[in-house]
Structure 1
Amino acid sequence: MSAETAGKTAPTPLWRAFLLHAAVAGAFGLLTIFWGQPSVHVMSVAGGLYLLGLAAAVYFTEQSLKFQGAIPAWLTRTVPVFLAIAGLLNLWVHADSMFAQTGALALILMGLVYVIVWFKNRGAHSAARDFLLIGIVTTLTGVLLPLFQALGAHALLGVAGGGAVITAVVLALAALSYRHDAREVAGPTAHTKPVN
């Protein structure tokens, strides 16, 4: 990470990516809380759309990190592709095993990559601790999914939704904080620009 990109504030594209991720995770988490007895079809469609939404959010996050030199270039498309494939498979095949196994694979991969981002940038990037926390939560969610496969759609959505709610809260707070910091940094510059 270069001296120009390291610092105490995250760039605007990163806070926007975090906010998108929080919105996707929050919507899915709320659905799992308020849908009392979801069928396997509800689980597959909601889970598939959730994984596709995560693919978009993670893509924008990783593009921001790539621009800053905070993530190896070869990793930037790996997680979004796996998430998108898992999402499409769940939209196509409605089965507890499909959601548990493809969701587990995609979420564990995402979590491990986020832990790598933290490890590579610890102490140098303002969002490093957020990546560590989200990486741990996402990895644990992925590990737990297959263990609840036999309990059906309600249990699987509960596990995935619990991880999503934690993620949504952490990333929403982080996004708002980084947005505020970015505005404070940009504020004085905006007032000192010469008027043509």
Structure 2
Amino acid sequence: MPAAKAPAETAAIMWKPILVRALIAVIFGLTTVFLQEPGLGVLKYGLAAYFVFSGSGLWEYLRRDPVPERMRGPLSIAAAVLMLGAIALLFAGSVFVAGIIAAAALIGSGAAELVAWAQHRKAFVPARDQLYTGLVGALSGVGLLLFLNLDAHGLLGIVGGGAIVIAVVLAISGFGFRHDAGPAARAGEGPRAPRS
């Protein structure tokens, strides 16, 4: 959550991709709450889907013009780690292996987001979100490693709980940036096209 107000031009471009990431996280997090007895298939395909959508959302975020060039490197690594984790999960033959793969993906992507935060938090206000998303993601991965003896429901609960925290943080941030953008956000004005 940004402690300082972002420039209106930056806020007008960044609030939507931030809220998209929040939406992805809250959908996954709430889904895990309602799953009663998920098996290995639900665990690995559910986590894989979450990683794919999260990686895609992060990719769309980092491609926006205001994101500093040097910040795109660590964020690209975070997105790539999630995508690789999603692919590896498809081949997991047990809940234990799926937990290890998911933990590695979450810790790796979280660490990359923390690098982005550490390097750019002063110059780019939205980068301050990476402290929370990176930390919660990495801690979720550590939680998986600490409780690998849990069943699929327990492992999904750990990741889903982290996802809900991330969703809340990003929702606060995204709506805050929408407010900072002022009329440009409400009218849909301002440059929004991502850099390719």
Q: Shorter-normalised TM-score: what interval? A: 0.7 to 0.9
5+ residue gaps, structure 1 = 1-5, 191-196
Q: 1:13 Cα shift?
A: 4.0
Match of 2:182 in 1: 183
Identity in percent: 30
Give the 3 Å change call, closer, same or farther, for CA 132–147 of structure 1 in structure 2. same
Residue in structure 2 matched with residue 31 of structure 1 by the alignment: 31
Instruction: Return the alpha-carbon distance in structure 1 between the equivalents of residues 28 and 185 of structure 2.
Output: 34
What's 2:152 paired with? 153
Aligned residue for 2:122, secondary structure, equals coil
- SS, match of residue 68 in structure 1: coil
**In structure 1, distance between residues paired with 2:38 and 2:142:** 22
1:62-77 superposed matches below 5 A: 62-64=62-64, 67-69=66-68, 71-77=70-76
- Report the RMSD for the aligned CA atoms in angstroms: 2.5
Deviation by residue 1:168-190 (Cα, 9 ceiling, x = unmatched)? 111112112112222346789x8
Report Cα offsets for 1:113-166 as digits up to 9, x if no partner: 222222122333222332211211111111111222211101101100010000
- Between stretches 174-183 and 161-170, larger displacement belongs to 174-183
Q: Provide Cα deviations, 1:23-80, integer angstroms capped at 9, x if missing partner.
A: 111111011111122112111111110011111011112223x753264454343222
Q: d(CA) in 1 for partners of 2:185 and 2:142?
A: 41
Q: How many residues align?
A: 183
Larger RCO (alpha carbons 8 Å, 6+ apart):
2
The answer to which of 115-124 and 102-111 deviates more is: 115-124
Where structure 2 has 5 or more consecutive residues not aligned to the other structure, the ranges are 190-196
The residue type equivalent to 2:175 in the other structure is L
Question: Hey, what does 2:128 align to over in structure 1?
Answer: 129
Describe the SS at the equivalent of 1:36.
coil
Work out which of the two has the higher radius of gyration on C-alpha atoms and give 1 or 2.
1
Q: Find the aligned partners of 2:58 and 2:124 in 1 and give their Cα distance.
A: 17
